[in-house]
Amino acid sequence: MLQQSLAPSSEANPRDRAIPQSVLDAVRTLIAWAGDDPEREGLLDTPGRVARAWKEYCAGYDEDPRKHLGRQFHELGGYDEIVILRDIPFHSHCEHHLAPITGKASIAYLPGKAVVGISKLARVLHGYARRLQIQERLTAEVAEAIWKGIEPRGVVVVIEAQHGCMTGRGVRTPGVGMTTSAVLGCFLEDAASRREVLALMGK
């Protein structure tokens, strides 16, 4: 095992000055523990890059995703059928191993008195996904935010994802997907409505 110094390099990237030294040191420690030399040329700027990347990965902690549902439209022109946004790509990280979770979500709701812009549904998803997560909680959080935020008659959220903690370590089984769903309101109470919305989602 190489003996490595964890002292900050004298040629540290100026962009790292806003990052707490403890964070930079933690990344250097992890690099050294993994078996490499944090002071070699190719890794000198890695602690800052990793710190900035994780701030971006976890940007959801800096916002309340429910705020995206604040702008609502009440002139529906008599429309009272299901609204669906299918196959929204997302990227998150598992709270157990900090490994990536990549997948897609489909979100449906049956309007009550209001609708929202479809991009807002994706923003709600991304707001919760950009936190340390488990897929089950992410699914429930998105559904609950829409349920409380716009008070529809029903909500369905289906998430399909692959988990790096399973594909890249441990059992190391790539190609395996996990599916979770959250069903609220009329879709929970009425089996026919639930079948209809899942069929429209292609599930």
**Do residues 160 and 178 touch, judged by C-beta distance below 8 A?**
yes
Distance between CA atoms of residues 3 and 196, nearest Å:
62
Catalytic pick among 39, 63, 97, 160: 97
pLDDT digits (tens, 9 = 90+) for 108-167: 999 999 999 999 999 999 999 999 999 999 999 999 999 999 999 999 999 999 999 888
CB 105 within 8 A of CB 158: yes
Comparing 46-55, 95-104, 127-136, 172-181, the range with the smallest average pLDDT is 172-181
Q: Which of 68, 93, 94, 133 is catalytic?
A: 94
186 as an active site residue: the answer is: no
d(CA 57, CA 23): 15
Question: H helices within the chain, ranges in order?
Answer: 21-34, 46-57, 118-129, 135-150, 164-167, 186-189, 191-201
Alpha helices for 39-117 (secondary structure H): 46-57
pLDDT band at 14 (very low <50, low <70, confident <90, very high): low
Provide the token pair at 62: 């800096």
Give the tokens for residue 50: 């990793």
pLDDT digit string (tens) for 67-90?
A: 999 999 999 898 989 999 999 999
Which pLDDT value is given to residue 97?
95
- Would you call 58 a catalytic residue per the annotation? no
From 21, 96, 136, 189, active-site residue: 96
Backbone angles phi, psi at 38, to 5 degrees: -65, -10
Which residue of the set 39, 63, 95, 196 is catalytic?
95
Cα–Cα distances (Å) from 42 to 15, 37, 49, 106, 127, in that order, read: 17, 9, 12, 41, 33
Residue 29 pLDDT more than 80? yes
**What's the pLDDT at 12?**
58
Q: What is the pLDDT of residues 181-199, one digit of tens each?
A: 999 999 999 999 999 999 9
**Cβ atoms < 10 Å from Cβ of 1:** 6
With 0-12 / 13-18 / 19 or more C-beta atoms within 10 angstroms meaning exposed / middle / buried, residue 62 is exposed
What's the pLDDT band for 176 if we cut at 50, 70, 90? confident
Q: What is the pTM of this model?
A: 0.88
Residue 3 pLDDT level (bands cut at 50, 70, 90): very low
Is 93 an active-site residue? Answer: no
